Amino acid sequence: MTTLEKVSTRGDGSTGRSELILRDRPPLARAVHATRRSGLKYTILVLALAVSVFPFYWMYVVASNSNAVMSQFPPRVVPGPNFLTNARLAVEGVPFGTALLNSFVVASAITVSVLFFSTMAGFAFAKMRFRGRGGLFTFVLGTMLVPQQLGLIPLFILMGYFGWVGDLRAVIVPSLVTAFGVFWMRQVVAGSVPDELLEAARMDGCSIFGIVRHVVWPSVAPGAAVLGLYTFLFAWNDFLWPLVVLGNEPSSHTIQIALRTLSDTYYVNYSMVMAGTLLSVVPLMIVFVLFSRQMVAGAMDGALKG
């Protein structure tokens, strides 16, 4: 006989715990049921995967054919032979390498800084007591409501005042800490830094900075990895503000600006632009792979614990 207690529907797990023993079911019925369900599952997943990846395939089709071919109807759906040609045009048309480097510098600097400052701030909001904590945090959240386009002109005026127009600093400094980062890390710290560890570290005489270094940082690593990836992507893909403030300085162009300048007279050679875009995705892929391992590790962790 199996026994079990009713479980609370609240999510904190604090009210009660269930002990249970799985009831035996006929093995065949279980297997059949499982396969039927899993068929549908895999179909959905494969469909989702295909939809996610298809536009990249399409980009490759455009990038590997010539502009003229793509103008025909019905549209070609198979890749062509011109990828290298278009890619070469793209790379030669703009300072591609410099732009990639600039994008990398900007995105990395922002990511490192956001991770660093957001963790500190998140820790403060999550685990420390101080006056005005609630109000200040709500204020931080409130700043997320302000759209970027609102600040284009005034920000540009500010940058002119600092002498940073055309300088990568103009793009990096305003994004050194983001409200989203603070919010995210606060949640992560609240969920993953055990109070007991904090107390123990205190007892051991650790200063506040030591606590941050030895207790907080290691605990938040997977959550921070997600924030890091998200921030990097966001910084890499940002194009409006960088265009406005860096547009006049070709050596400061990020890759998004460089891709925008790949054009001729009044029109755009889509094949060339797509080839350039695909090339610019490669470093992102690398970053993605690096970070995703961390994420998956964290995910697996959760699955085993669950």
Partner 1 sequence: MRSTKITATLAALAMVLAACGGGSDDDTNGEAAGGDAAAETDEGEASGEAITLNLWTFGNFGYDDLIEEYEDDNPNITIETLIQEFDGHHDGLVTSLAAGSGGPDIAAAEVAFIGAFTNEADSFLNLLDYGAEEVKDDYLDWKWDQATTLDGSATIGLPTDVGGMAICYRSDLFEEAGLPTDRDEVSALWANSWEDYIAVGQQYKEATGRAFIDNEGLLWDAVVNQSSETYYDSDGELIYADSEQVRYAWDIVVSALEADIDAKTPAWSAEWNAGMNAGDFAVLTCPAWMRGYIEDQAPDTTGNWDVATVPEGGGNWGGSHLVIPAMTEHPQEAYDFMTWLLAPEQQLRVFEGTGNFPSTPELYDTPQMREFSSEFLNDAPLGEIYSDNALDVVAQNIGPNYNLINQEFGEALNRISDGLESPEEAWETALDNIARELSF
Partner 2 sequence: MSETSKALVGSATDDERTQRRPKKRRQASHGPAHEESWAPYLFISPFFILFAIFGVFTLLYTFWVSLHDWSLLGGMNAFVGLDNYTRLLDDPRFFKATVNTFSMLLLSTVPQMIMALILAEILNDRLLRGSHLFRSGLLVPNITSVVAIAIVFQSLFARQNGLINAVIQLLGFEPLNWHAGRLSSHLAIASMVNWQFTGFNTLIFLAALQAIPLSYYEAAQIDGASRIQRFSRISVPLLRPAILFAVVLSVIGQLQLFAQPMLFGAGAGSTSGGNDNQYLTILLYLYGQAFQQPFRFGYSAAIAWMLVLMSAAAAALVFGINALLDRRENRAERRYSKARARSQEVAR
Residues of this chain that interact with partner 1 (CB under 8 A) are 67-68, 70-73, 105-106, 109, 112-113, 116, 152-153, 156-157, 159-160, 163-169, 172-173, 207, 209-210, 213, 243-245, 247-252, 260-261, 263-270
Q: What residues between 253 and 272 interact with partner 2 by CB under 8 A?
A: 256, 259-260, 266, 270
214 secondary structure, DSSP code: I
Q: Are 174 and 154 in contact (CB under 8 A)?
A: no
SS3 content of the chain, % helix, strand, coil (to 5): 75, 0, 25
240 part of the interface to partner 2, by CB under 8 A: yes
CB of 44 to partner 2, least distance (A): 6
Q: Which of 207, 234, 220 is nearest to 118 (CA)?
A: 220
Q: Please, which of residues 129-168 interact with partner 2 by CB under 8 A?
A: 129-130, 133, 136, 140-151, 153-155, 157-158
Smallest distance from partner 2 to CB 260, Å: 7
Phi/psi at 78 (5° precision): -110, 145
- Return the residue of 30, 31, 58, 213 that touches partner 2, per CB under 8 A: 58
Which three-class secondary structure state does DSSP give residue 193? coil
Q: How many CA atoms lie within 13 A of 135 on its CB side?
A: 3
User: Going residue by residue from 215 to 234, which x/- string records binding to partner 2, judged by CB under 8 A?
Assistant: ----xx-xx--x---x--x-
In the bound state with partner 2, the residue whose beta carbon lies nearer, of 82 and 262, is 262
CB 179 within 8 A of CB 144: yes
> Which of residues 183 and 252 has its CB atom nearest to partner 2 in the complex?
183
What is the SS3 assignment for 117? helix
Note whether 4 binds partner 2 by CB under 8 A. yes
Which run of H or of E encompasses 168? none
CB 277 within 8 A of CB 258: no
Annotate each residue in 92-131 with x if it binds partner 2 (CB under 8 A) or - if it does not, as one string: -------------------------x--xx-xxx-xxxx-
- Judged by CB under 8 A, the residue of 1, 28, 29, 77 near partner 2 is 77
Smallest gap, in angstroms, from Cβ of residue 163 to partner 1? Answer: 6
Contact partner, 197, from partner 2, partner 1, none, Cβ < 5-8 Å per class:
none
Task: Report if residue 292 touches partner 2, rule: CB under 8 A.
Answer: yes
Q: Tell me the C-alpha distance between 14 and 44, whole Å.
A: 35
Q: Partners of 264 in the beta sheet?
A: 267
Lookup: tokens for 23: 């009831």
Sole window of 82-90, 91-99, 104-112, 291-299 interacting with partner 2 (rule: CB under 8 A): 291-299
Q: How far is the CB of 263 from partner 1 (least distance, A)?
A: 4
């409200």: which residue's tokens?
179
Q: Which of 182, 246, 262, 279 binds partner 2 (CB under 8 A)?
A: 182
Q: CA 50, 52, 53: angle at the middle one, nearest 5?
A: 65
